[in-house]
Amino acid sequence: KTDLINVLKKHKQAIAWKLTDIKGIDPEFYSHKVLLEEEHSLKVQSQRRVNPKIHDIIKKEVEKLLDAGLIYPISDSPWVSPIHCVPKKGGMTVIKNDENELVPTRLVTGWRVCIDYMKLKEATRKVHFPLPFMDRMLERLAGNEYYCFLNRFSGYFQILIDPKDQEKTTLTCPCGTFAYKRIPFGLCNAPGTFQRCMMAIFHDMIEKRWRLLWT
């Protein structure tokens, strides 16, 4: 434990506590490309109506991403996707309905802001990079003497999108239109890119001294 703490202290500049701390992976080493099918049509989608109660949530999220340098304003993108807000669901509770019946209801603990990239996904050339199976990962974990857990804080945001492809990630919201510099959640081929990147970084550790797993 002491040795691990000393290693973490020695490399504390590599540890991110908030979005603005994320330095990201050197794009010369790895970046994400959004390659399109040969036959595709550009799609500029309109902004969706937003509940006034959700407006401030979206505004705060956009400001947070802007301050962290993860997105930037853009006005002439040939691809525009709408922003979407979905509830973060927590535990269960029981409430009475209009007929005085007890009904199980899932609690909402907050809101998740995401982008509807469905149209872009349909036009994107799919990269079929193999992802690990959870049951096999758990089997490999069993029987080891030491376990260490490190949270890959906002893992997708560590990887830069190729500059010529960034405009394809443009989102529209009540605050304007913005494009991502780093991989957002929901972008096609993002899991494969992240998996390939992790394997490139830890290739000399896999199946050797360490049992290295990530999800």
Q: Cα 147 vs. chain centroid, distance in angstroms? A: 25
CA distance linking residue 25 with residue 159, whole number of Å: 6
Percentage of residues in the chain having pLDDT higher than 90: 33
pLDDT, position 131: 77
Question: CA nearest 113: which of 166, 63, 46?
Answer: 63
116-151 pLDDT, tens per residue? 999 999 999 998 877 777 787 777 777 777 777 666
Question: CA nearest 156: which of 14, 20, 22?
Answer: 22
CA distance linking residue 130 with residue 209, whole number of Å: 23
pLDDT(3) > 80: yes
172-210 pLDDT, tens per residue? 999 999 999 999 988 999 988 888 888 888 777 766 555
On whether the 20-201 domain is CATH 3.10.10.10, my answer is yes
CA distance linking residue 53 with residue 93, whole number of Å: 23
pLDDT, position 179: 97
Higher model confidence: residue 53 or residue 189?
189
- For 69: left if phi > 0, alpha if psi spans -120 to 50, otherwise beta; the answer is left
pLDDT(96) > 60: yes
Yes or no: say if 197 and 152 are a contact pair by the CB < 8 Å rule. Answer: no
Largest CA distance in the chain: 63
pTM beyond 0.75 = yes
212 pLDDT band (50/70/90 cuts)?
A: low
214 pLDDT band (50/70/90 cuts)?
A: low
pLDDT, position 181: 96
CA distance linking residue 51 with residue 174, whole number of Å: 11
Sorted by where each begins, the domain ranges of the chain are: 20-201
Yes or no: say if 198 and 29 are a contact pair by the CB < 8 Å rule. Answer: no
Distance set, CA 194 to CA 4, 22, 39, 158 (Å): 25, 16, 27, 9
Give the angle subtended at the CA of 67 by the CAs of 63 and 73, to the nearest 5°. 70
Mean pLDDT, residues 76-91: 86
